[in-house]
Structure 1
């Protein structure tokens, strides 16, 4: 019988317990504070510790993707079982070299035809919401063809919107200019960020204040999904209380089939900063 293994990376921000329950393999990216201080996202550096380090040191670290060798090791271990197919889904190639590293790893394996590497063109739980559904299908015994068909639907039907608490991280990572960051902070502007079809971050709209930004996102989601049943994921960077408020607002407006509140990990957190809240939505079957 065909065995389907689902692989992703740590930027999917899937809660550890959920990943373990569904048998999802997570390859960690790296967080680098200095030449002598590097950590594996979610493995040797948990999200809470990351945000505490950033606050204590007043330093925004850099990040790096896994090596092809790391992917090769993961794939080889999963392929030890006969009749295994791997579906490996990763952060947008416009944001990281992770997808490229996974692709290089596959080329060195004899069983390359059994591994399907996918550029999600997404980040954070907008990847996770897709991966979790595919892992559930795999657990239910669906075939690789059925799972890949559903994957294509999800890639078309999943949206994400971010609200950042400060523009400092975006500016330091080259997403916006210094003048825009300063002006936005002074005016308490909350940019609503999303991802293009190609997987690049862009400013969808701007709102003055978090509540106005949230209400605008809900309006846009109503236009996109209407009364259709949906899956929802709220990911946050040390902003759990507001994440819960956002979920409560969504429950008033939508037919929600499943919900997850999760913490934004160190790699995505290094680019968006503490206080960020992201809303990921996909159509439910």
Structure 2
């Protein structure tokens, strides 16, 4: 009899309530200030991170080996036989590799570590759909074949109010970032097949960047029905207005708001707006 556990890192943006409902085990990323270190989501909120960015931009790091080991040891004690881990893109974080290596020391657990090559709610959607398959009683072998298919139907895009934090975090070049700031360019960012950030297009100013996001969503909706999440980082009111503007678009079957995790907020800065889109057959 298989007993399957599901692990996610905190970059997935699922709420603690959702993780509890689906029995998803959380591996928190870490946020480090000069005054101390915090576990993402569990010990610090996104709002707290944003409110302190003008004083200090913290550093982020992958879940600690101790946290991962503790969960794996607990799973063995609770007689789990299989583990599925859904992770942030390996092109953006060492989390995937760390979990994979530590699982090698737990041969009693048959494991599958899936690199989503994405982050934020798009990663969370993969985890949620996987959790539903576990809840349905599907076998480990069936589920790991299904996960890449689930992932292939999910996309994510975002734009930023400022490029400062991506520059500081080394996620984009300083020169190109400064030129973009000077020209008030707002790139629409996604990830490529290797899970690395790239710009789909650029817009001049905030209004145009939101319009570009809407156009991208409309193109996706032309392919068929979609579930849509409006993503935001410290921009709830703006996200609500954006969501309101999308309500009457054809083929949206579900529309929600999701705030990005504290750790992701460090690199995005306040004012992120984005979309997570799941194609539904």
> What is the TM-score when the length of structure 1 is the normalising length?
0.90
Aligned length: 281
How far, CA to CA, are the matches of 2:132 and 2:247 in structure 1? 23
Among 238, 259, 264, the alignment partner of 1:263 is: 259
| SS of structure 2 residue aligned to 1:129 | helix
Deviations along 1:101-121, one digit per CA (max 9) or x if unpaired, are: 101111101224x22111111
Among 268, 272, 285, the alignment partner of 2:268 is: 272
State the Cα distance separating 1:96 from its structure 2 match. 0.7
Structure 2 unmatched runs, 5+: none
| SS of structure 1 residue aligned to 2:275 | strand
Structure 1 unmatched runs, 5+: none
State the Cα distance separating 1:83 from its structure 2 match. 5.5
Deviations along 1:2-43, one digit per CA (max 9) or x if unpaired, are: 333221001111122222222111100111122x41111111
Answering whether residue 91 of structure 2 is matched by residue 78 of structure 1, we say no
Aligned to 1:222: 218
Q: 1:15 touches 1:263 (CA, 8 Å); kept in 2?
A: no
Aligned to 2:44: 45
Aligned to 2:65: 68
Aligned to 1:27: 27
How far, CA to CA, are the matches of 2:186 and 2:249 in structure 1? 22
Among 200, 217, 235, the alignment partner of 1:204 is: 200
> What is the TM-score when the length of structure 2 is the normalising length?
0.92
| SS of structure 2 residue aligned to 1:194 | strand
Q: 1:8 touches 1:131 (CA, 8 Å); kept in 2?
A: yes
How far, CA to CA, are the matches of 1:242 and 1:144 in structure 2? 41
Deviations along 1:195-240, one digit per CA (max 9) or x if unpaired, are: 0011001122110123322222232333344252222222211111
Among 152, 159, 173, the alignment partner of 2:169 is: 173
| SS of structure 2 residue aligned to 1:165 | coil
The aligned runs of 1:1-285 (5 Å cut-off) are: 1-34=1-34, 36-55=35-54, 57=55, 59-82=56-79, 84-112=81-109, 114-285=110-281
How far, CA to CA, are the matches of 1:213 and 1:198 in structure 2? 24
Q: 2:157 touches 2:274 (CA, 8 Å); kept in 1?
A: yes
How far, CA to CA, are the matches of 2:147 and 2:248 in structure 1? 28
| SS of structure 2 residue aligned to 1:121 | coil
State the Cα distance separating 1:98 from its structure 2 match. 0.5
| SS of structure 2 residue aligned to 1:253 | coil
Deviations along 1:138-189, one digit per CA (max 9) or x if unpaired, are: 2232322332233111221211101111010111122333343333333322
